[in-house]
Amino acid sequence: MPFNPSEISAIIKQQIEQFPLPAETRNEGTIVSLKDGIATIYGLSNTLLGEMLQFDTKTYGIALNLERDTVGSVILGDFGHLSEGMTVKSTGRVLETPIGHELLGRIVNPLGTPLDGKGLINSKKTAPVEKVAPGVIWRQSVDTPLQTGLKVIDTIVPIGRGQRELIIGDRQTGKTAIIIDTIINQKKSGVKCIYVAIGQKNSSIAALVRKLEEHDAMKHTIIVNASASDSAASQYIAPYAGCSMGEYFRDIGENALIIFDDLTKHAWAYRQISLLLRRPPGREAYPGDIFYLHSRLLERAAHVSAEYVSTQTEGKVKDRTGSLTALPIVETQAGDITAFIPTNIISITDGQIFLETDLFNSGVRPAVNIGLSVSRVGGAAQTSIIKKLSGGLRLALAQFRDLEAFSQFASDLDETTRKQLEHGQRSLEILKQPQYAPLTVSEMVITLVIIEKKIFADLPVEKVLEFANSAIKFMHDNHQEILDEIDAKPVYSAELVDKIEKELVKFKETGFVV
Amino acid sequence: MSQDLNQARPYAIAIFELASEQKSLTAWLDTISILAFIATNPSVISLANNPRSPKEKLFNLFKNTLKKNTESVVLEQALRLLNFLIIKRRLQLLPSIYAALDNLRCKKENLKKGSVISAKPLSEKQQEKLENVLVKRLKAKVFLDYAVDPNLLGGMILRFGNDVIDSSLQNKLQRLANSF
């Protein structure tokens, strides 16, 4: 579009004329010491805790320590150009981040600056990074499931919308794989996903984004990235910023899912900041408020009532509840879940999914340790058909764990015990699932009917999974109407289950070649 | 600086209480300002920091100047304070003690000290007008320090402690530039 230079001049003239220029009143201080991204500032007597401080036109910091004469501040971003004696201004604002639907499909840093080269984000709204979680009266109990599409999770450790479920395990046990599958599975559910990467390699993030794009799952996802090369301050605020972005969806009556990958590195970043701010170190050199650091973050995940949504939207949205589900990830060292940060977060969350290296290496993937994994509130949120059908599975696996030690004496065991062992082995086998292949509720029901009705009892263990997959395909090809019925109304009925059983038995006898 | 102020505050409070009892605050302020002036001299600093230099030498250096310039009311106590500071190796606190003491005095007398930086020197009439406005606004006596900085281009910067009112043209242009 051609521009006339005089037009441009006119626009600039207008802007200059309209620019409000009252005298600026500000509170000032002077940098007295500057090291490792931490500035001690003399003055700034009216600063608020957590207030943004302006070092120069582009450099900002957060006030974290308020002392008698000085303010301890952590600098966001590069600080190489700052020096002692420079003036620091207070801004009167606490740290804010952009929020809104415009962020979906984008990769941003904690302050909302795009990192994906797709241009500016025109979000009109901002929200403080640190917000207080909704109070008791605004909350509702968890009642809707958040389908991960993973058999082992949705049946044994189900997650409800608004729940906080920890995913814990050593490195290379498939923690992020579970997350990717969960995000992919939200394509049709309308749940918005926010993936917060804390202290990770940029290459891992790039690989994750590529995978999500391949599966068309970036459209409903925001990636907040504070990578290993970003400052500790940036890593420290990343989960809070991501949470504010998620709360936007919760507060307008939508459902959102936030993933913190991972909170161990977040605790490390906070430990670094705290030690440099000369706060007293406690256990494992973490500061005294390390529990509060994570508890206040995870408390923001909630299932809020329709009244809350109505007040937040000033009456524009009515009769709709909102939810923010949190899936924090914690990386353990050598399977030690009794370390400081893992125990803290286990006690904060509503359950954990424990992944084990041994299981992973022996081919059980997702490598979920069923004995140590638990979901404290998810059961209430399960759809009735899955709840009813998975009850038996849970019991069978518990019995199997008890008897597992005897499995090497298989020939000497009595009939009942041997049957229980075999059923357990087959059940475990059928719960294996490849990556990027989340199942729908109806597909999961078929798998559960196979287990519950022991249709696989006469198949060799190594053929069980193959049978389940072919059975799902068979049902899609021949009885799509049954699957559609379940997906539309996932309610248990004995006739429905009998019908599926009959079809599956028929398929096993006629269509499946061992 | 900030750490010094923390350490200096108890000394300042002690001196302030003593001076208030004796009604000799001005004399004390003068004395401490002289001591602070000497203590910031580089050769005095190196002497004070040298562990081999005898403490008496340092004490006498201050004592001679003090005797000439200090009112007799506070001299004896000032020398005791000096001795104490030398033994505790805290001579470097003297400027901060002066600042803290001055703060206490300002608070007691409801006096606000500030500074004005303007692009051009202010006429006496302008200064008077400014001070009158500030007295009304701050509800306190005002003491202003005037300075000139042509870089401001126009307007002025008013500073009271950490609070700054900036109506300089330089600042306005800078804000306009940042807005684009």
Per residue in A241-299, pLDDT (tens digit) is: 999 999 999 999 999 999 999 999 999 999 999 999 999 999 999 999 999 999 999 99
Q: What is the pLDDT of residues B64-101, one digit of tens each?
A: 888 887 777 788 888 889 888 888 888 889 999 999 99
User: How would you classify the pairing of strands A24-35 and B163-166?
Assistant: antiparallel
pLDDT value, residue A351: 95
pLDDT at position B2, please? 61
Average pLDDT of the residues in B126-130? 92
CATH topology of domain A385-510: Lysin (1.20.150)
Which pLDDT score, from 0 to 100, does residue A178 have?
96
Q: Which of A307-316, A338-347, B131-140 has the lowest mean pLDDT?
A: B131-140
Nearest-neighbour CA in chain B from A91: distance (Å): 12
C-beta neighbour count of B31 within 10 angstroms = 26
Name the residue among B2, B166, B176 with its Cβ closest to that of A16.
B176
In DSSP terms, A76 is beta-bridged to: A60
Find the Cα–Cα–Cα–Cα dihedral A475, A480, A483, A484, rounded to 10°. Answer: 170
- Residue A496 DSSP label: H
Inspect the interface and report whether the beta carbons of A42 and B2 lie closer than 8 Å: yes
- Whether the CB of B169 is below 8 Å from some CB of chain A: the reply is no
**In the structure encoding, which two tokens stand for residue A318, read together?**
């009515």
Task: Tell me the pLDDT tens digit for each residue of A316-362.
Answer: 999 999 999 999 999 999 999 999 999 999 999 999 999 999 999 99
> What are the residue ranges spanned by the domains of chain A?
28-94, 98-382, 385-510
Angstrom distance (rounded) from CA A455 to CA A186: 30
Which ipTM did the prediction report?
Answer: 0.81
What's residue A511's pLDDT?
78
Q: Are residues B134 and B99 in the same domain?
A: no
**Cα B122 to chain center, whole Å?**
24
Is beta strand A255-261 parallel, antiparallel or unpaired with respect to B111-118?
unpaired
What are the Cα distances from residue A148, in Å, to A181, A193, A281?
A: 7, 12, 39
Cα A246 from Cα A258, distance rounded (Å):
7
CA dist., res. A485 & res. A496, Å (int): 10
* 8 A C-beta contact, residue A217 and residue A203: no
Q: Is A51 exposed, middle or buried (0-12, 13-18, 19+ CB in 10 A)?
A: buried
B137 inside 8 A of chain A by CB: no
Q: Chain-centre distance of CA B93, in angstroms?
A: 13
Q: Is A401 a catalytic residue?
A: no
Pick from A245, A194, A207, A203: which is nearest to A228 by CA? A203
- Residue A262: cis peptide before it, omega within 30 degrees of 0: yes
| Domain A28-94 in CATH 2.40.30.20 | yes
Judged by average pLDDT, the poorest of A486-490, B61-65, B108-112, B118-122 is B61-65
What mean pLDDT comes out for the span A77-103? 93
Among A376, A401, A418, A426, the active-site one is A376
Among A271, A104, A287, CA closest to A193:
A104
Strands A351-355 and A166-169: parallel
Contact state of A23 with B165 under an 8 Å Cβ cutoff = yes
Name the least confident of A396-405, A462-471, B135-144, B148-157: A396-405
Characterise A450 by phi-psi region: left (phi > 0), alpha (psi -120 to 50), beta (else).
Answer: alpha
Write the CB contacts of B107 (distance below 8 Å, at least 6 apart in sequence): none
CB contact under 8 A, B1 and A45: no
Indicate the pLDDT class of residue B46, thresholds 50, 70 and 90: confident
The torsion angles phi and psi of A218, rounded to 5 degrees, stand at: -80, -25
Q: Token pair of A24, please?
A: 């600026």
Residue of A11, A24, A25, A90 for testing the chain B interface, max B β-carbons within 10 Å: A24
The answer on pLDDT for A512 being more than 80 is no
How high is the pLDDT of residue B1?
54
Q: Are residues B139 and B80 in the same domain?
A: no
- Measured CA to CA, the distance from residue A447 to residue A486 in angstroms comes to 13
**The pLDDT value given to residue B98:** 93
Q: Of B43, B76, B107, which closes a domain?
A: B107
- 3-state SS record for B29-88: HHHHHHHHHHHCCHHHHHHHHCCCCCHHHHHHHHHHHHHHHCCHHHHHHHHHHHHHHHHC
| Amino acid A1: pLDDT | 56
| Same domain for B96 and B51 | yes
What's the pLDDT at B69? Answer: 78
CA distance A370 to chain B (A): 56
Q: How far is CA B78 from CA A161, A189, A340, B85, B94, in A?
A: 72, 80, 55, 10, 12
Q: Which site among B134, B138, B152, B162 would you substitute to test the A interface, given the most A Cβ atoms closer than 10 Å to its Cβ?
A: B162
pLDDT attached to residue A2: 63
Which residues neighbour A212 within 8 Å (Cβ) at sequence distance 6 or greater?
A180, A183, A184, A218, A221
Residues of B in contact with A19 (CB under 8 A): 175-176, 179
Give SS3 for A342. Answer: helix
Q: Strand, helix or coil at A352?
A: strand
Quote the pLDDT of residue B56.
Answer: 85
**Which of B54, B85, B107 is a domain's end point?**
B107
| B137 and B96 co-located in one domain | no
Q: Which residues contact A382 (CB under 8 A, 6 or more apart)?
A: A145, A154, A158, A390
Cβ–Cβ below 8 Å for B162 and A27: yes
Q: Among A73, A75, A87, A83, which residue's Cα sits nearest to residue A30? A: A87
pLDDT tens for residues A86-98? Answer: 999 999 999 999 9
Chain B residues 3-32 with CB within 8 Å of chain A: 5-6
The whole-angstrom separation of Cα A374 and Cα A486 is: 26
- Structure tokens given for B161: 């402690």
User: Which of B118, B138, B157, B164 best tests the A interface by mutation, with the highest count of A CBs <10 A?
Assistant: B164
In angstroms, rounded to a whole number, what is the distance separating the alpha carbons of residues A269 and A198? Answer: 9
Q: Determine whether A411 is exposed, middle or buried from the number of CB atoms within 10 Å of its CB (0-12, 13-18, 19+).
A: exposed
> Is some CB atom of chain A closer than 8 A to the CB atom of B103?
no
If one counts the domains in chain B, the total is: 2
CA A26 from chain centre, in angstroms, equals 40
- Alpha carbon distance B107, B100 (integer Å): 11
- Give the separation between CA A374 and CA A379, rounded to whole angstroms: 10
| Average confidence (pLDDT) over A431-435 | 94
Q: Average of pLDDT values for A455-480?
A: 92
Q: Are A257 and A194 in contact (CB under 8 A)?
A: yes
Tens digits of residue pLDDT in A191-244: 999 999 999 999 999 999 999 999 999 999 999 999 999 999 999 999 999 999
Nearest chain A residue to B2, by CA: A69
**Residues B102 and B138 placed together within one structural domain of the fold:** no
Tell me, yes or no, whether B29 and B48 share the same domain. Answer: yes
pLDDT at residue A312 in the model = 94
A159-163, A329-333, A486-490: segment of lowest average pLDDT = A486-490
The pLDDT, as a whole number, for residue A204 is 94
Average pLDDT value for chain A = 92
Residues of A in contact with B172 (CB under 8 A): 21
Q: Are residues B60 and B25 in the same domain?
A: yes
CA angle A159, A160, A162 (to 5 degrees): 120
| Class of the domain covering A98-382 | alpha beta
For residue B25, the enclosing domain spans 2-107
pTM attached to this predicted model:
0.88
In this predicted structure, the answer to whether residue A60 has a pLDDT above a threshold of 80 is: yes
- The contact set of A with B (CB < 8 A) is 15-16, 19, 21, 23-29, 32, 40, 42-46, 57, 67-70
The verdict on a CB contact (< 8 Å) between A24 and B5 is: no
